[in-house]
Amino acid sequence: MPTTAVLDSTMFHRELGTGRPIVFLHGNPTSSYLWRHIMPAVGSGRRLAPDLIGMGESGKPDVAYTFDDHARYLDAWFDALGLDEIVLVGHDWGGALAFDWAARHPGRVRGLAFMETIVKPMAWEEFPEGGRDLFRSIKTPGVGETMILEDNLFLTQMLPFTVASGLGDDDLKVYLEPYRTLESRRPLLQWPRSMPLGGEPADVVARVERYDAWLAASVDVPKLLLAFRPGPGAMMGPELLDWCAENVAELEIEQLGLAGHHAPEDQPEAIAAAVRGWADRHGLL
Q: How many folded domains does the chain comprise?
A: 1
Helix, strand, coil abundance in the chain, percent, nearest 5: 50, 20, 30
Give the CA radius of gyration of the chain: 17
Per-residue model confidence (pLDDT) at position 128 = 84
Per-residue model confidence (pLDDT) at position 104 = 97
- What residues are labeled active site? 92, 116, 261
- pLDDT tens figures, 250-268: 999 999 999 999 999 999 9
What is the arrangement of strands in the sheet containing 21-25, beginning at the earlier edge strand? 3-6, 9-16, 46-50, 21-25, 86-92, 109-117, 223-230, 251-259
Listing DSSP states for 95-156 in one string gives HHHHHHHHHH-GGGEEEEEEEEE--S-B-GGGS-HHHHHHHHHHTSTTHHIIIIIIS-HIII
Phi, psi of 198 (to 5 degrees): 60, 30
Phi, psi of 173 (to 5 degrees): -60, -40
pLDDT at 96 over 90: yes
What is the CATH classification number for the domain harbouring 11? 3.40.50.1820
Reported as a pLDDT band with limits 50, 70 and 90, residue 127 is confident
List the domain range (segments joined by +) for residue 187.
3-282
- pLDDT averaged over the chain? 96
Mean pLDDT computed over 37-63 = 97
Per-residue model confidence (pLDDT) at position 130 = 80
pLDDT at 1 over 80: no
Q: Which helix (H) or strand (E) holds 21?
A: strand 21-25
Per-residue model confidence (pLDDT) at position 58 = 98
pLDDT at 120 over 90: yes
pTM: 0.97
Mean pLDDT computed over 258-285 = 97
Per-residue model confidence (pLDDT) at position 158 = 94
